[in-house]
Amino acid sequence: MNTIEKASVTELVETTGHAGSEWLSRYSSSLMDVFGTPQRVLVRGAGCLVWDADGKEYLDLLGGIAVNALGHAHPFVTSVIASQLATLGHVSNFFTSPTQVALAEKLLELAHAPAGSKVFFSNSGTEANEAAFKLARRNTGNADTKRTKIIALEGAFHGRTMGALALTAKEAYRAPFEPLPGGVVHIPFGDIAALEAAVDDTVAAVFLEPIQGEAGVRPLPPGYLKAAREATSKAGALLILDEVQTGIGRTGKWLASEDAGIVPDAVTLAKGLGGGFPIGALITFGEATSSLLSAGQHGTTFGGNPVATAAALATLHALESQNVLANAAAVGEHLRSALAAIPGVTEVRGEGLLIGFDLDADVAPAVVQAALDAGFIVNSPGPRTIRLAPPLILTTAQADTFLAAFPAILQAAKDAQ
Ligand SMILES: *Cc1c(COP(=O)(O)O)cnc(C)c1O
């Protein structure tokens, strides 16, 4: 064998010099068609900007769907990942590593978790919720009560694997894959009376997103989390918060639920946690909940991998030391108030840099296309709803370029209908 030395990816795949159309035709011959046709072929990113194979520049206002908290190619995160990978890339969970332990400790600190709280690492959001689902199944109750039910909300999105899919409400995602794991009941969104009526001693857990991202950035009404905490505590059910999209500074706070004045039993995280590197986590609060899953009852090959945990440590450090959460809160506020003043925008929702806004016509998919043509990446979670989840380092000046362009983008979308 010849020795094989350092190389750059361009020696394996020519990332420039091929038109986007060529990649898309190769894509359609080789990739499973579950995502539809990709909108563009992206080759490079820096901060809040990305470039496609044809050299066009975009302001990324979606951030890989709330993932790229520090934007693209962040020098601090990239160099920490590279240094960990060059030191120790992977070990099995027969072993641990310093970054894994340090990240677990850091997450417990950021979540204000009480003594006895613990962390389980996964590779994605759906896997964090699978772990939470299995945790809930272990909340069996005593000999007399059998806790077979799990409550989730209409509009909920918790992931695409079978357990998380059972928690997800959308019929089009669920129906082709039934039977799903049983016992999940969906109750009306934001209705405290319906929640109180549903939570009794047959319920193992209640799963809630503080803000439903996929449903169009719908925040739970004030007081809902508190009522959920009271009802679940009374019934002995777990309160599990899915902060996969809302966590890690997205709302200008470490957790969207942190001002609700409650201590949940578990929180799931993923998306922003690794700053673009795949990692998820389940945090369990307190000794009793943290010991529901015992040795051998759950596992994963990659979960808590040294590189993924180093990426997350680097992301958390940069978010903290650069005061990025305050930026997300301020730029988000600026965007929301300016969007609300644009004709054709009928409602603006969200917190920090997780923003949803409704239009006065069912043109959201056409807005996504018109925005791309104008050099902006946005997303349409519904026929008249646009979602923004940009890097948390977005500047006011960058936000203003989108605000200035949006009226013409909306008009172009309406003209294209
Ligand atoms: C994205 C998301 C998930 C699923 O995460 P994946 O990493 O795509 O598996 C689960 N819950 C919420 C709230 C999400 O936004």
The whole-angstrom separation of Cα 142 and Cα 316 is: 40
pLDDT tens per residue across span 21-36: 999 999 999 999 999 9
Residue 271: active-site member: yes
CA of 147 to the centre of ligand 1 (A): 26
The CA-atom distances, in angstroms, between 148 and each of 77, 129, 203 are: 43, 17, 6
Does the C-beta of 158 come closer than 6 Å to ligand 1? yes
CA of 250 to the centre of ligand 1 (A): 14
Where, residue-wise, is CATH 3.40.640.10 in the chain? 78-321
At 239, list the tokens.
Answer: 């309160």
Fold classification of 78-321 (topology level): Aspartate Aminotransferase; domain 2 (3.40.640)
Catalytic residue (one of 242, 253, 285, 357): 242
pLDDT tens per residue across span 208-217: 999 999 999 9
Catalytic residue (one of 157, 189, 207, 357): 157
> Is 251 assigned to a binding site?
no
Report yes or no on whether pTM surpasses 0.95.
yes
Say which CATH superfamily domain 9-68+323-416 falls into.
Aspartate Aminotransferase, domain 1 (3.90.1150.10)
Where, residue-wise, is CATH 3.90.1150.10 in the chain? 9-68+323-416
Rounded to an integer, the average pLDDT of 377-390 is 98
Ligand 1, residues 157, 165, 173, 354: which to mutate, most atoms within 8 A of Cβ? 157
Write down the pLDDT at residue 10. Answer: 87
Beta-strand pair 385-388/354-359: antiparallel
Identify which of 332, 310, 391 has the alpha carbon closest to the alpha carbon of residue 72.
Answer: 391
| Residue percentage of the chain with pLDDT more than 70 | 99
pLDDT tens per residue across span 302-342: 999 999 999 999 999 999 999 999 999 999 999 999 999 99
The whole-angstrom separation of Cα 108 and Cα 282 is: 11
